[in-house]
Structure 1
Amino acid sequence: MTRRTVEYGCAVIVIGLLAGVAGAATTLLLHWIEHLVYDYSYGTLLTGVGHSSPVRRALGPMFGGALAGAGWWWLRRRADVPTLATTIRTRAPIPRWRLSIDAGLQVLLVGSGASLGREGAPRQLAATLGDLGTSRWALTPSDREILLACAAGAGLGAVYSVPLGGALYAARIVLGSWQPKAIGTALITSSLAVAVSAPVTHLEHSVVWPNASLSYLFVFFGCAVAPVAVAVGFAFDKVTAWARPVPQRRSWPLIPAIAIAGLATGICSIWWPELPGNGRSILTVSVNASLTLGGAVVILFLKPLLTALYLRTGAVGGLITPALATGAAAGSVAVLTLNRLAGTGFDVAAPALACAAGVLAITLRAPAFAALFVWELARPPMWLIAVFAAASFTAHGIRLLRERNLARGAPP
């Protein structure tokens, strides 16, 4: 056994452990900020927002946005902050301090109610800790690329308690590979990270699945809702792509700009307390059928618009859970409309999550990850992964067909 093989095996273990620490640390910090901003001591963010005063709902995200904006202004005046995916893909040196500070500012912003995903911060922190922990070992550039990608996936897996989803994210989205070495490394690191962060996350599922009786015909419903997911996914992609400023904003006006985005989110939350945060609240009320048709329509439009507003101001954050929340709202609109017009009594939970999986498949171009990630978030009956897979792969197939038609010059 060569020294390189031994050190690679040790590095896999170290990466998994440090990614778990990163996931636990960002989770603790996020919850502390949420409790501070909305002044509650137990329950979910939706509970905290619902029980807080209108003034706190409006001003909390504004002050959090101003603080995060000031931090980014200070950081970006000194150096560029590259994206983690670009750094890994180009095999460039990891700017540890910059990515770590950027991750902390993301947690501050999302914890104060920003309509962005929280998964970016643990991915960055896990990669920086992993790079630091393995920097002195005899690893090839290819080995280091695999390990850092797996660190990012393991950080995602740790905060959401989704070991398989974290592994698939690392292998398919960051690395774009089905190589056994990449898959094996990703599975080990993600599983270790979830185990290490368990005392903090308590392996809690982001969505509590209702005990509803479901029919296997929902597999066909998953296919039927795919066109809705495609339309919503394309719209979400276009809005967020337009909103990203190029180059990165680094002048002082980003401070009031992010504060204004926070104020807009806070004011909207007075009437729709599901809007603040990464999107977990929207997934919860969608699965629990707590949304009315009017509320679902409003959230379907406001969630991506608020996410785009934050991006346009220069804020940074994840887009996985905002895309899922938008898809769940779209699925709820579709089912509730059908129930009202046709007098049917379809359960909302499965179609809402199926549409969420379809939207995620469009935005990430990763149908397998989308189906598995959504299933792990809610942990419904095992067979429902077929529903989510049907929606994800059908939506992905429609996208590929559309792109092929556009390449040939035919109407989309």
Structure 2
Amino acid sequence: MTSTTAPNDTPTERQVRRRGQRRRLLLRAVPVGFLAGAIAVAFQLALVVAEHWRQRGLLYAHDLGQWGWLATMGGCALSIGTGVWLVQALAPDASGSGIPQIKTVLHHGRTMRPLRLLIVKFIGGVLAIGGGLTLGREGPTVQMGGAIGQFLNDVTRTHPEDRRIITSAGAGAGLAAAFNAPLAGMLFVFEELYGFISPPLLFAVFIAAVTADVVTRTTFGQLSAFHVPMPIIQPLYELPWAGLIGILAGLLGVLFNRTLLFTQRWMSGMRRWPLGAGGFVVGALVGLVGWFVPDVLGGGASLIEHLLGMDISWQIALQFLGLQFVLTMISYGTGAAGGIFAPLLLFGALIGVATVALLQPWLPFSALGQQQLAAAIVGMGACFTAIVRAPLTGVVIVLEMTDGFHLLLPLMIASLIAYGVANALNDTPIYEALMNRQLATPDPNASKPDTPSDPDKA
């Protein structure tokens, strides 16, 4: 990033320059946060409507009798295939979660067509996730927030030393709005997107994240993202299960990362097919699965909330984990607009529940339901850490989403161990690996800007 001071500046001149930069950032961070919050709200509401119609369609299909499964396959194929076609035909950089693409813009000078990306990401994501792909809305919200920051940079001719900061602030605001988690949105920028903290970056991201969170809380209320009963405080002698969950989450995270990259390579052959054809094929398969197990379709947030409020056996937890794992791999492999935040949190919750349910007969646990709830929360943080390798963000985002702050100690223990396991196995963090794959392909926007060229464009 361009230095904010000149070598021969006096202390007074440096203070004036810093004040000037803070004013510039303030004037942009507030609208970026507001717009990122607004787009996150609209995206979430659109997905609620899409998932409502998908559920109604499934009920109607079951009323058709023995041939209803064909209607389910056709409906899911049409929705998902259209969503994939939009991405492939109009904005290839809108594929996947979008977080690796934001990193290539921030660190490697890749270009972005923010307006086109916003439209395609929004519509394509609603069609793909609403159609049943097991992908999350949070990654797309991060990319759309970053696109809003980049668009504002372009139309207001942001000062060169502020451009990356405003793009990062938009991305952090998107995450804050998606999870009602402003602290996690800030930490994600520092740990994952930017890689370090500077006073101007902290100032802008703080303002944008808080502004976006106000927008979402004004719309959806003050409750946390997951409305769960309050777990009991865990006795210290029960902490070893947190360490075991950390080990299992670390192993699962490595398996997830390597399988996702393998699936992307394996399904890359679909690029030679007609545009959107792979999405139609996978959509039909997802529809067939949804005919028999409708609860596994979609982003997984509602399934996490149900999981946090009920007792299930370890056999059922592992069955759900296996099915969701496979569906997430092929869903992401289509290149549809959808992220992995929600699926990886669901995997962590399931591995936590399965661990406690399996060990409960032999260990001095208190009430099983309360233990499963605590283990699910701990598992979410540990799995996030193992896959993304951003432990502070993983701990804070789960605490903010569940209000489970008294689980801080077991959550930190599990996350630390999961981090160590993933590192010991020489696993590359998922967003870094996906970014490297992005960089191995030509920049699709190199000569197609949305706005007049700007020599200072980051």
Task: Give the TM bin, normalised by the shorter chain.
Answer: 0.7 to 0.9
Q: In 1, are the aligned partners of 2:345 and 2:384 still within 8 Å (CA)?
A: yes
1:266 is the counterpart of 2:290? no
Deviations 1:15-38 (A, max 9, x none): 211211221221222222222222
Task: Give the corresponding residue for 2:263.
Answer: 243
1:259–1:294 Cα change, 3 Å: farther
Higher RCO structure (Cα 8 Å, ≥6 apart): 2
Counterpart of 2:383, as a letter, is: V
1:66–1:92 Cα change, 3 Å: closer
1:386 is the counterpart of 2:409? yes
Task: Give the corresponding residue for 2:130.
Answer: 111
Q: In structure 2, which of residues 239, 242, 245 is the aligned counterpart of residue 222 of structure 1?
A: 242
Q: In 1, are the aligned partners of 2:153 and 2:166 still within 8 Å (CA)?
A: no
1:80–1:114 Cα change, 3 Å: closer
Q: In 2, are the aligned partners of 1:153 and 1:169 still within 8 Å (CA)?
A: yes
- In structure 2, how many angstroms separate the alpha carbons of the residues matched to 1:299 and 1:111? 20
Counterpart of 2:345, as a letter, is: L
1:27 is the counterpart of 2:27? no
Q: In structure 2, which of residues 306, 312, 317 is the aligned counterpart of residue 285 of structure 1?
A: 306
Task: Give the corresponding residue for 2:84.
Answer: 69
More deviation, 340-349/278-287: 340-349
CA positional deviation for 1:306: 0.7
Task: Give the corresponding residue for 1:145.
Answer: 164
CA positional deviation for 1:135: 2.6
Task: Give the corresponding residue for 1:90.
Answer: 108
- In structure 1, how many angstroms separate the alpha carbons of the residues matched to 2:420 and 2:304? 25
TM norm structure 2: 0.77
Task: Give the corresponding residue for 1:131.
Answer: 150
Q: In 2, are the aligned partners of 1:248 and 1:314 still within 8 Å (CA)?
A: no
- In structure 2, how many angstroms separate the alpha carbons of the residues matched to 1:248 and 1:13? 43
Q: In structure 2, which of residues 316, 322, 325 is the aligned counterpart of residue 295 of structure 1?
A: 316
The alignment yields a C-alpha RMSD, in angstroms, of 2.9
Q: In structure 2, which of residues 333, 339, 350 is the aligned counterpart of residue 312 of structure 1?
A: 333
1:342–1:136 Cα change, 3 Å: closer
- In structure 1, how many angstroms separate the alpha carbons of the residues matched to 2:341 and 2:260? 12
- In structure 2, how many angstroms separate the alpha carbons of the residues matched to 1:52 and 1:282? 22
More deviation, 181-190/138-147: 138-147
- In structure 2, how many angstroms separate the alpha carbons of the residues matched to 1:30 and 1:391? 32
Q: Secondary structure at the match of 2:276?
A: helix
**Uncovered stretches (5+) of structure 1, i.e. residues with no partner:** 41-48, 405-412
Deviations 1:96-152 (A, max 9, x none): 234223312123211222111111322222222222223354644442112111211
More deviation, 310-319/358-367: 310-319
More deviation, 384-393/217-226: 217-226
Q: In 2, are the aligned partners of 1:293 and 1:337 still within 8 Å (CA)?
A: yes
Q: Percent identity?
A: 23
Q: Secondary structure at the match of 2:360?
A: helix
- In structure 1, how many angstroms separate the alpha carbons of the residues matched to 2:116 and 2:271? 14
Q: In 2, are the aligned partners of 1:167 and 1:190 still within 8 Å (CA)?
A: yes
Q: Secondary structure at the match of 1:39?
A: helix
1:142–1:299 Cα change, 3 Å: farther
- In structure 2, how many angstroms separate the alpha carbons of the residues matched to 1:331 and 1:194? 29
Size of the alignment, in residue pairs? 394
1:362 is the counterpart of 2:383? no
Task: Give the corresponding residue for 1:410.
Answer: none
Task: Give the corresponding residue for 1:349.
Answer: 373
Q: In 1, are the aligned partners of 2:94 and 2:117 still within 8 Å (CA)?
A: no
- In structure 2, how many angstroms separate the alpha carbons of the residues matched to 1:394 and 1:142? 38
More deviation, 395-404/330-339: 395-404
Counterpart of 2:408, as a letter, is: I
